[in-house]
Structure 1
């Protein structure tokens, strides 16, 4: 895709934001819904805070923001249930509004009030989901709805893929457009409302004029109407869609429980929106290689180790357009600076000849993050990232090029990706791919991520909530007993599959949060692979 002529014009205020050094903002159909802000950076090297226990002091991040995330979107005409019990069109919902979401209270999922934290629009292929009671919902294929069998996507991604999708055997959870009065309190207009709702195609034209409330806060989620899937129809072409982020991670759309995309706060220091912008407003330091070379040539530079990929993946899809990494690799090697790369992206294969050349000049280490072998689970916790098979192929390519490739099997998720059998399967696959070393680490629930993850866990795996609360006990780290067990299981798997522990890798063991040798039990979590939906 040629990007010439794709610059956003000044009249398009929605895309232009006040960024220091901003040269232009670019959109392209190749990245629907994404704006790239090309900036002239003044610095490239980032100093790691002194209080950090990372085994390196410097990083380089050519981009800010991440394209690994997925976006779940609905038609602007979708009715959203507000906290006061009234319905409002999604197009009219604003940040700060109170809507109805759900959360678990013991063994029941209940309706609760939820705050809208972010809102954004995009254009994507759309699908019409029709239910047996006449309810219709227009959504992107990436959108998820709650069924009696858990969260399911509307449609499979292009080329197939392993993720749970809606079928005509599924029933959505909620009340639909024809809510039964015996289930929830409603005023006298309910029967008229139900009659109109049966005509799903005309509902949007009449519902906003109905002055009525649905008094359901605090009530348990249950379904009595026929909310089975009747059909799912591709609408063809690109449609304007909208999504919101809420404090509970869900909301009620056309009477059914709808998943949303989760806000993260990594862009806030740039005065960018914490929900939409991390995924759709990508800051690209187009001159990063030149600035880095100048910094590395300073007499004061001590040629300390530089880590790439500690904040955002340097081999996201946009790297194929901007090609920033070749210049970064050359600048580091030419200056005699040792460096390491952590990635999930197969695009690194493009630069293997450069890395081979650099390794003849300076110490170079490459690591791939891979902790989940189940493709379906992997897409739940890391939607939009390369699947396990693609990452195994990347490891093979790295080792075939004569470079060592270590693997960060982090984070290990208790009861989801742990267990002796799963850990052994992971190590066996990594050994077959030629990995040189494997570092495991239990899930680290940092403040902010902790609340988000527990909400996600309650929706996807409610039976595990109590277990997680016991082993994390309200803190960031799994219990010492769990970390010791995981260390022993991983150590046994490494022995079985030939991952001998070289002396020059002993620092990994000392800093592995699962290791009894670790003094703090905290290091590796900070290098854990970024999880778009979880972190």
Structure 2
């Protein structure tokens, strides 16, 4: 890995206790201020999703990065940083683990006689196309391995950076199944900047959906999470549905916000700062746990006009535009058995 010494400095001090011996780097870039990137050499690239997990079309995932600079306030993956003796708040956003040897480890794993060629999902935990992927470019090596072994795969991301690798996605599509999904919780600029402060513009994500579909990569849209009082107004949801339809999204899915573990405290702290008027409502909605009740969930999604709650779309007149794509309910995130880092 080659680096421009004028832009990157090595930082050997202050390594975090859950990571052992690592190389710690800082990037001299506005987007990476106050962030550290912990380079590790992982022993495994593939993470197994327990077979008992329902509603998931895959049993294997890859997470080239742990922690995420997107800093989405609602991110369900935040508690995974606690396994590394880091906190789910600022550490998750600023202490990013980079598995620098993921591509070569993946090639070795896919080449094993015992490997059955099962579908592999990327982006199920942290976003593999977060900012630092522009520097490490691990995803190109991962896609090359998928192409080389003709292994079916999929990607979920919030970043149009996925278009950088369109050539490889097309090469994979020529030999096996590959699909993509862009997460677009809101098009409202205020809600976007408040809840996903370091993510790419959601309009650019929808443009990426269109470009991927035009290039032959089946790509859908995920409206998730649906946050009561924040991004669930019917007009907000309808704007996304309309834009996704124009982008020829292969499906539109989503789900209502859930608050597991440390995410609950982080999200409520955000509410008290940004939307104190909503605190009583959330205290009631989430009084019994991480998920709202089934009845409340359906009420919220129907009121928002969420297509996965409505089940069917109105069929448009053929002279007024394309028929809307099918819908899909986003499954709850899997309980992933994370491979050892070392």
How many angstroms does 1:63 deviate by?
Answer: 1.2
Paired position in structure 1 for 2:338: none
Paired position in structure 2 for 1:186: none
How many angstroms does 1:407 deviate by?
Answer: 0.8
Within 2, Cα distance between the matches of 1:350 and 1:21? Answer: 32
Say yes or no: does 1:38 pair with 2:39.
yes
Paired position in structure 1 for 2:184: 370
Within 2, Cα distance between the matches of 1:471 and 1:276? Answer: 26
How many angstroms does 1:70 deviate by?
Answer: 8.9
Structure (1/2) with the larger helix percentage: 2
How many angstroms does 1:408 deviate by?
Answer: 0.9
- Residues 443-522 of structure 1 correspond to what in structure 2 (within 5 A)? 443-486=257-300, 488=302, 489-491=305-307, 492=310, 495-496=313-314, 498-501=323-326, 508=328, 512=329
Secondary structure, aligned partner of 2:313: helix
How many angstroms does 1:16 deviate by?
Answer: 7.4
Secondary structure, aligned partner of 1:526: coil
Secondary structure, aligned partner of 1:380: helix
Say yes or no: does 1:64 pair with 2:101.
no
- CA deviation profile, 1:348-367 (whole Å, cap 9, x unmatched): 11101110110111110100
Say yes or no: does 1:438 pair with 2:256.
no
Paired position in structure 1 for 2:14: 14
Paired position in structure 2 for 1:25: 24
Within 2, Cα distance between the matches of 1:307 and 1:70? Answer: 21
Within 2, Cα distance between the matches of 1:440 and 1:403? Answer: 20
Decide which moves more: 421-430 or 356-365. Answer: 421-430
- CA deviation profile, 1:95-151 (whole Å, cap 9, x unmatched): xxxxxxxxxxxxxxxxxxxxxxxxxxxxxxxxxxxxxxxxxxxxxxxxxxxxxxxxx
Query: RMSD over aligned Cα, in angstroms?
Result: 2.8
- Residues 160-199 of structure 1 correspond to what in structure 2 (within 5 A)? none
Segments of structure 2 that go 5 or more residues without pairing to the other structure are 317-322, 335-342
Given that 2:71 and 2:197 are in contact with CA atoms closer than 8 Å, whether structure 1 keeps it comes out as: yes
Within 1, Cα distance between the matches of 2:209 and 2:121? Answer: 19
Distance 1:323 1:305, change over 3 A: same
Say yes or no: does 1:299 pair with 2:113.
yes
- Residues 47-196 of structure 1 correspond to what in structure 2 (within 5 A)? 47-53=48-54, 54-69=56-71
Distance 1:275 1:410, change over 3 A: closer
Within 1, Cα distance between the matches of 2:268 and 2:33? Answer: 30
Distance 1:302 1:308, change over 3 A: same
**TM-score of the aligned structures, taking structure 2 as reference length:** 0.82
Distance 1:426 1:275, change over 3 A: closer
How many angstroms does 1:396 deviate by?
Answer: 2.0
Given that 2:187 and 2:240 are in contact with CA atoms closer than 8 Å, whether structure 1 keeps it comes out as: yes
Within 2, Cα distance between the matches of 1:447 and 1:294? Answer: 35
Given that 2:88 and 2:262 are in contact with CA atoms closer than 8 Å, whether structure 1 keeps it comes out as: no
Within 2, Cα distance between the matches of 1:59 and 1:373? Answer: 29
Paired position in structure 1 for 2:339: none
Within 2, Cα distance between the matches of 1:279 and 1:476? Answer: 22
How many angstroms does 1:422 deviate by?
Answer: 2.6
Within 2, Cα distance between the matches of 1:399 and 1:311? Answer: 24
How many angstroms does 1:474 deviate by?
Answer: 2.6
Distance 1:473 1:273, change over 3 A: closer
How many angstroms does 1:50 deviate by?
Answer: 4.0
**TM-score of the aligned structures, taking structure 1 as reference length:** 0.54
Given that 1:63 and 1:283 are in contact with CA atoms closer than 8 Å, whether structure 2 keeps it comes out as: yes
Segments of structure 1 that go 5 or more residues without pairing to the other structure are 72-263, 513-522, 528-535
Say yes or no: does 1:385 pair with 2:192.
no
Q: When the two structures are aligned, how many residues end up with a matched partner?
A: 315
Paired position in structure 1 for 2:333: 526
Distance 1:484 1:336, change over 3 A: same
Given that 2:16 and 2:86 are in contact with CA atoms closer than 8 Å, whether structure 1 keeps it comes out as: no
How many angstroms does 1:18 deviate by?
Answer: 6.8
Within 2, Cα distance between the matches of 1:460 and 1:274? Answer: 20
Within 2, Cα distance between the matches of 1:500 and 1:329? Answer: 27
Given that 1:445 and 1:476 are in contact with CA atoms closer than 8 Å, whether structure 2 keeps it comes out as: yes
Structure (1/2) with the larger strand percentage: 1
Larger radius of gyration, structure 1 or 2?
A: 1
How many angstroms does 1:331 deviate by?
Answer: 0.9
Aligned counterpart in structure 1 of residue 103 of structure 2, from 289, 300, 310: 289
